[in-house]
């Protein structure tokens, strides 16, 4: 299955970029032009074209700030996800070239060139869009921060806070295998999609030593650039910081060394937590194949899988996809109350979300698996079981598991 995203200027219909993922052909100019033309034609009649459905594929149009039209084509996913995707794509554009330059470009050709650096981020986003295709090894969401729960998180937090004090910065976090382990308090005040993009910008920019990137924050400061600095502490562990013009990269590297020198062992052990993403010291019911824990208030998630059950790569990704699909199709529609984001765009789904405020639990049973989701306070937990677990037992285990996670002292997230 092929996913496409097209970007055009609203006024002239000039294509800025076209990206695709999958083995299909790249969109030709004439096709893009006609898709955009329909949108423009209806606009002249004061009608906004939102989306078109085929049996399994959907096209979504969206105009941003009256200047950019994005069109996405994807299969096997929900409208809600596709809209989030388009938002993220537009944010990624801001991240690289600033909102001002998008709204009033000096020349379209220059804008086109300037947008090139965000291709890698957009390609990554396209990957997230894909569900059910065995390609990515990681499951991800557009507005949830991918986290990891290590038993060392308490210690890491202390170290991080000291480091950020040295840097004189409020926004910083530690990534283990590109999953967020701990972050400063202010970090969580950033928009979830912004957080996501910052981490993406780092991870797509490869992991060598130290990086210094100028970025615009789509929500916090779309026209004024910040410096995004990352330092690799040990293999697969990086520290991330948003800072002003000072200090320079050399200084930051020095500070990092100074700060973390004494805690290398902690870092080494915390890496071990991957790929379970959950402390090995806490044992869960053996019938659990994996779980997805979401804090939907502060928008972060942990995806954990029971390593013993993993026989091969394929079944692993299949399981991840299953949980992800379950989350998008059942949990998201049932549990979420309307956030401001969906309000304007999906008046359609607003109704349904409004309806299901009272939904507490939901489950799917497949031929070989079962999925059960539970919502409690700020948390949603989706657990994947083998199919032999009876439904009512499944409920008990899920309740128990969530209780363990939320009460266990070791766990800090």
Partner 1 sequence: MNDPKEKAPLYQNDEQSYGYVKNGKNPVDEERECWASDSGSSSGSYYSNASSSVIEWESEISPTGEVFYIESLMESFAALNSNKAREDNHYASSPPELTRRRSTRAGKLIRLLKRRESYRHSVRMSGLASELRQNHESISKMHRERENFIRDDYKMGEKYSVNIWVEPEKRHKLGRRATACEAYLGIIPCVASDKSKIIVAGFVPDGEALKTKEINVGDWLQSINSKDVNKYTINTILSRIVSPTNIHCQFQRTCLDGNYENYPATMSCPNQSVLARQLTDKEESTILMESLIKESLGVIFIKTKEFSEGESDMQGVLYSFPRTKTKSTQSFLSITKGAFITLNHMLPDIVGAQPISTTVSTSTGLTHIIYFSYKDELLLIAVPDKCCNKQEAMEHSMDIVCTLSFMNESILTCFEKEENHLHLDHFFYLFFSRLYKDKVVASKANSENLKTNVNIDDLSKYDFSFLLPIVNLVQLPRDAQIQIDAALSEMEAMDYRDWNQDPMECQRLYTIIGSCLYHRRHLLGSHLPAEDLIQIHSFLRRHGILHLINSEDVKSLVIWNKVYPSSSVNRKLQWQDESAYSLTYRWFLLIVGYGHNLLAVILESGGCTAILEEHSGPDIFYVEEAQETLKHIRKIGISALAEKWINANAKPEIIVPQKETTLSKLSSPSIAENIVGFMKTNQSKSISSLNHNVTKVPYDNISMTKSRVSEESRVDFNAGYSLEASRDSPSQDSLSQVSEMSDQAAPILGRRATRERSNALLTRYSDDSDSDLDNDQTGISEISNIRENLLHQAEYIVPKIVTTGNKNSLVYYVHIDLFEGVLISSRVNELDSEFLSNLNGCAQMIHKLLSDTKRYKKLLTHDAGKSVINKSLIAIKEHGILLEWENCTYWIVGRLYNSPRPKELYICYQDCAPQNLIEMAFRLQSTNH
By the criterion CB under 8 A, which residues form the site for partner 1?
A: 1, 27, 31, 34-35, 37-38, 41-42, 45-57, 59, 73, 75-77, 131-132, 318, 321-322, 324-326, 329-330, 333-334, 347-348, 351-352, 355-356, 358-369, 390-392
If the CB atoms of residues 34 and 410 are measured against partner 1, the closer one turns out to be 34
Task: Count CB-CB contacts under 10 A for residue 208.
Answer: 7
Question: CB of 323: closest distance to partner 1 in angstroms?
Answer: 9
Q: Which is nearer to partner 1, 46 or 104 (CB)?
A: 46
> Helical H runs in 58-103?
79-97, 99-103
CB of 281 to partner 1, least distance (A): 31
Q: Which is nearer to partner 1, 122 or 331 (CB)?
A: 331
Q: How far is the CB of 81 from partner 1 (least distance, A)?
A: 11
Q: Strand 68-75 vs strand 3-9: parallel, antiparallel, or unpaired? A: antiparallel
Q: Is 64 exposed, middle or buried (0-12, 13-18, 19+ CB in 10 A)?
A: buried
Q: Considering the complex, what minimum distance in angstroms separates the CB of residue 205 from partner 1?
A: 30
Rounded distance between C-alpha atoms, residue 66 and residue 78, angstroms? 25
d(CA 176, CA 238): 7
Distance from C-alpha of 16 to C-alpha of 36, rounded to nearest angstrom: 12
Cβ proximity to partner 1, 74 vs 175, nearer residue? 74
What residues contact residue 282 under an 8 Å CB cut-off, 6+ apart? 404, 405, 408, 410, 411
Q: CA-based Rg of the chain, rounded to a whole angstrom?
A: 22
User: Residue 112 Cβ, how far from partner 1 at the closest point, in Å?
Assistant: 23
Among 82, 94, 85, 144, residue whose Cα is nearest residue 118: 94
Which region holds residue 277: left if phi is over 0, alpha if psi is between -120 and 50, else beta? left
- Residue 358 vs 407, nearer CB to partner 1: 358
- Tell me the CA distances in angstroms from 76 to 24, 25, 62, 127, 140, one per residue in order: 15, 18, 19, 13, 16
Considering the complex, state which of residue 110 and residue 360 has its C-beta at the smaller distance from partner 1.
360
Here the contacts of 57-60 (C-beta below 8 Å, separation 24 or greater) are 58/82, 59/35, 60/86
Burial class (CB in 10 A: 0-12, 13-18, 19+), 256: buried
Least Å distance, CB 35 to partner 1, is: 7
- Residue 319's Cβ-side half-sphere holds a number of Cα atoms within 13 Å equal to 27
The nearest distance, CB 55 to partner 1, in angstroms, is 5
Instruction: Kindly state the tokens that stand for 10.
Output: 């609203």
Taking the complex as a whole, the smallest distance from the CB of residue 59 to partner 1 amounts, in Å, to 7
For partner 1, the closer CB: 268 or 403: 403
CB of 394 to partner 1, least distance (A): 10
Distances (CA, A) of 294 to 12, 146, 147: 42, 10, 10
Backbone angles phi, psi at 205, to 5 degrees: -85, 20
Considering the complex, state which of residue 123 and residue 361 has its C-beta at the smaller distance from partner 1: 361
Closest separation in Å from C-beta 332 to partner 1: 12
Q: Which is nearer to partner 1, 335 or 413 (CB)?
A: 335
Please identify, using beta-carbon distances, which residue of 44 and 262 lies nearer to partner 1: 44
């Amino acid at each position: 299955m092929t996913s496409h995203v097209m970007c055009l200027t609203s006024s002239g219909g000039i294509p800025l970029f076209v990206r695709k993922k999958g083995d299909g052909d790249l969109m030709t100019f004439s096709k893009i032009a006609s898709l955009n033309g329909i949108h423009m034609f209806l606009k002249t009649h004061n009608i906004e074209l939102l989306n078109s459905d085929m049996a399994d594929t959907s096209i979504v149009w969206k105009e941003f700030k009256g200047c950019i039209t994005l069109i996405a084509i994807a299969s096997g996913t929900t409208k809600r996800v596709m809209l989030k995707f388009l938002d993220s794509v537009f944010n990624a554009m801001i991240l690289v070239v600033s909102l001002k330059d998008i709204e009033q470009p000096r020349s379209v050709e220059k804008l086109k060139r300037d947008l090139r650096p965000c291709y890698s981020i957009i390609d990554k986003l396209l990957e997230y869009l894909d569900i059910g295709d065995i390609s990515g090894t990681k499951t991800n969401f557009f507005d949830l921060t991918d986290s990891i729960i290590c038993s060392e998180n308490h210690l890491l937090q202390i170290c991080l806070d000291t480091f950020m004090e040295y840097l004189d910065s409020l926004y910083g976090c530690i990534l283990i295998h590109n999953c967020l382990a701990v972050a400063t308090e202010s970090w969580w005040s950033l928009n979830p999609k912004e957080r996501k993009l910052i981490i993406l910008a780092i991870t797509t920019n490869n992991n060598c030593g130290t990086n210094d990137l100028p970025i615009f924050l789509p929500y916090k400061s779309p026209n004024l650039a910040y410096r995004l600095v990352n330092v690799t502490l040990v293999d697969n562990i990086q520290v991330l910081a948003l800072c002003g013009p000072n200090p320079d990269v050399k200084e930051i590297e020095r500070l990092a060394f100074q700060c973390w020198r004494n805690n290398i062992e902690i870092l080494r052990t915390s890496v071990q937590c991957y790929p379970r993403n959950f402390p090995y010291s806490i044992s869960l019911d053996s019938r659990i194949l994996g779980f997805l824990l979401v804090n939907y208030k502060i928008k972060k998630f942990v995806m954990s899988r029971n390593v013993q059950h993993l026989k091969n790569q394929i079944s692993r990704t299949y399981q991840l996809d299953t949980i992800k699909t379950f989350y998008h199709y059942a949990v998201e529609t049932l549990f979420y109350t309307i956030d401001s984001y969906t309000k304007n765009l999906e008046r359609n789904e607003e109704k349904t979300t409004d309806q299901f405020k009272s939904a507490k639990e939901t489950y799917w049973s497949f031929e070989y698996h079962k999925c059960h989701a539970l919502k409690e306070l700020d948390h949603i937990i989706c657990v994947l079981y083998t199919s032999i677990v009876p439904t009512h037992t499944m409920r008990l285990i899920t309740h128990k598991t969530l209780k363990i996670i939320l009460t266990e002292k070791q766990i800090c997230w």
